[in-house]
Structure 1
């Protein structure tokens, strides 16, 4: 059965407030609905989206499409009720064909073929979903990936947030980790100023989410998370913590700047994400400082592209709240 791209699904099925931020247009079950199995999801990415600045489809929007695919299937086919909270736990995505991600003359039509496995209690209630699959862009295989989401009731969410908040507030103070950076400074009462867009691979200043990255030693760049809760995409609806897509974007911007600084080029705007592996282990509070630290490896070859592996740690309240490994490729 063919999938439809005529209209988006209801925004509640992908946990978005703005209709314009809904990318999924249709879903279908390859097997028996309501069971673990393979599903197909159609999505359309607009060319004029705020985050879409370069000649290739923005990786943040691609990850968001994968998230929306998993959430929409969970609600529409697995019977998970609306009103539950979904929390990103981990993600592993690799670009199979960089040329398939180039922005064309019309909105990109994506098809996600995904296998969903639900984690259930003895009583049958779903507490999480694990997904894996492939993303096709206008018929061409572009991405392969997997990940997992935690599913919680409102009461469970409230309890988890209260616990996370208490830990973060009690641990607030100079940012630290097991091997503190000698350059780490005590948190400031003033929010950090955003970097200049071109230094982190962005054009629109509204999309900058880190302060100016500073090279420490030869291969380490440090900055602070810059949070704008009025951003229409990153904060589509009110949140009491920094969302995963904000942390992923911070890692991308920090990595682009770090590769350019550590290797004397290429320009950050000429770097795209070829692979992403991320784990999210703690909440990042909006009113406490967060450090973004990226370690850079040597330049290598990845097919016809020059590439560089990076590891970004999101340091918050004395611990690593998230770790995101990116492979950055030079396209320009």
Structure 2
């Protein structure tokens, strides 16, 4: 599994506020109307988890979207007065899914396999002021691959803007598979589901930037730089019970928590993030999250690399870059 993100801001968006609907329930998007974005098009079941609010086509490969970042979401909580960097990644994910379903003809029920994900935010423009943050998103398609008139892969470049300022840039790359192909890929693992057995203890939530222990994705080991992935049953913001594997967004947030735990008690507030998915994280097998400091190529910054493993094989690799803490 893998995913990548990059943005260059070449497109000037129009101010639009359109929605999308699926009137006959077929899973194939129909004419846009002035309604909200249905959760099925961004793969979210709870309304409060839908971040994209509208989408408008500019031409065959450029689009203008709007999004709203909540200031009081039950899970995507601010950290040190800034919106969570994972919120930017989730917004990119939702925007790419929405474009795929509504503009590129991918039916709901098809599967998306991420290759890598990367984005850079501007911390000065990510502060939380007690109100939701309204965003304009410029999106452009690249490396679009079709087979028999159907989308099989794509890269989407994005730029987020608020009040005329660039908030973040990024891109994602992914492939699309039909349910039949996905069944062949997954085989017997298609029936795997997360069990709700006893959870291992969490690390203190203060170390991960979480509001409470129930939001912590890390369980301690005998090493201060390694943890075991734990997923509480109430993690509806990240986990769909129907998933046959651990979602990539869970691994992304676990990586962010690991970076914070590794650098505690210092304040580690990353502004740039990249990740590469190597394979699926399976249910039923321990997933080890390992973090380490690595040399940074940018003066005045600090880098933390986080790798998740199952059965000693890497599942994902993430890199976080934060301003270097001044003593």
C-alpha spacing 1:160/1:328, structure 2 compared with 1 (3 Å)? farther
**1:134-153 alignment runs, 5 A limit:** 134-153=159-178
- In the TM superposition, residue 299 of structure 1 has moved relative to its aligned partner by 7.8
C-alpha spacing 1:118/1:49, structure 2 compared with 1 (3 Å)? same
Q: Give the number of equivalent residue pairs.
A: 292
For normalisation by structure 1, the TM-score amounts to 0.80
Report SS of the residue matched to 2:89.
helix
C-alpha spacing 1:43/1:225, structure 2 compared with 1 (3 Å)? same
Instruction: Please report the RMSD computed on the Cα atoms of aligned residues, expressed in angstroms.
Output: 2.7
**1:160-239 alignment runs, 5 A limit:** 160-162=185-187, 191-212=199-220, 215=223, 221-239=225-243
- In the TM superposition, residue 317 of structure 1 has moved relative to its aligned partner by 2.5
- 1:90 equivalent to 2:116? Answer yes
Report SS of the residue matched to 1:40.
strand
Report SS of the residue matched to 2:185.
helix
From 256, 259, 262, the counterpart of 2:260: 256
From 20, 39, 43, the counterpart of 2:63: 39
- 1:307 equivalent to 2:320? Answer no
- In the TM superposition, residue 295 of structure 1 has moved relative to its aligned partner by 1.5
**Which residues of structure 1 form unaligned runs of 5+?**
169-188
C-alpha spacing 1:299/1:283, structure 2 compared with 1 (3 Å)? closer
Contact 2:203 2:219 in 1 (8 A): yes
For normalisation by structure 2, the TM-score amounts to 0.81
Runs of 4+ in 1 over 4 A off after TM superposition: 163-166, 213-216, 298-302
Contact 1:136 1:142 in 2 (8 A): yes
From 33, 49, 52, the counterpart of 1:24: 52
Contact 2:272 2:320 in 1 (8 A): yes
Contact 1:282 1:321 in 2 (8 A): yes
From 304, 309, 328, the counterpart of 2:322: 328
From 145, 152, 156, the counterpart of 1:120: 145
Higher relative contact order (CA 8 A, sep 6+): 2
Larger displacement relative to structure 2 (116-125 or 58-67)? 116-125
CA distance in 1, matches of 2:136, 2:168: 11
Contact 1:272 1:330 in 2 (8 A): no
CA distance in 1, matches of 2:157, 2:39: 23
Q: Which residue of 2 aligns with 1:109?
A: 134
- In the TM superposition, residue 307 of structure 1 has moved relative to its aligned partner by 3.0
- In the TM superposition, residue 18 of structure 1 has moved relative to its aligned partner by 1.3
C-alpha spacing 1:290/1:142, structure 2 compared with 1 (3 Å)? same
C-alpha spacing 1:2/1:331, structure 2 compared with 1 (3 Å)? farther
From 70, 84, 95, the counterpart of 1:58: 84
Q: Which residue of 2 aligns with 1:2?
A: 15
Q: Which residue of 2 aligns with 1:181?
A: none
Deviation digits for residues 15-63 of structure 1 (CA, Å, limit 9, x no counterpart): 11112211111111111xxx4x111110111111022143111122211
Report SS of the residue matched to 1:211.
strand
C-alpha spacing 1:331/1:101, structure 2 compared with 1 (3 Å)? farther
CA distance in 1, matches of 2:164, 2:179: 39
Contact 1:66 1:112 in 2 (8 A): no
- In the TM superposition, residue 328 of structure 1 has moved relative to its aligned partner by 2.8
- In the TM superposition, residue 114 of structure 1 has moved relative to its aligned partner by 1.1
CA distance in 2, matches of 1:328, 1:319: 27
**Which residues of structure 2 form unaligned runs of 5+?**
1-13, 19-33
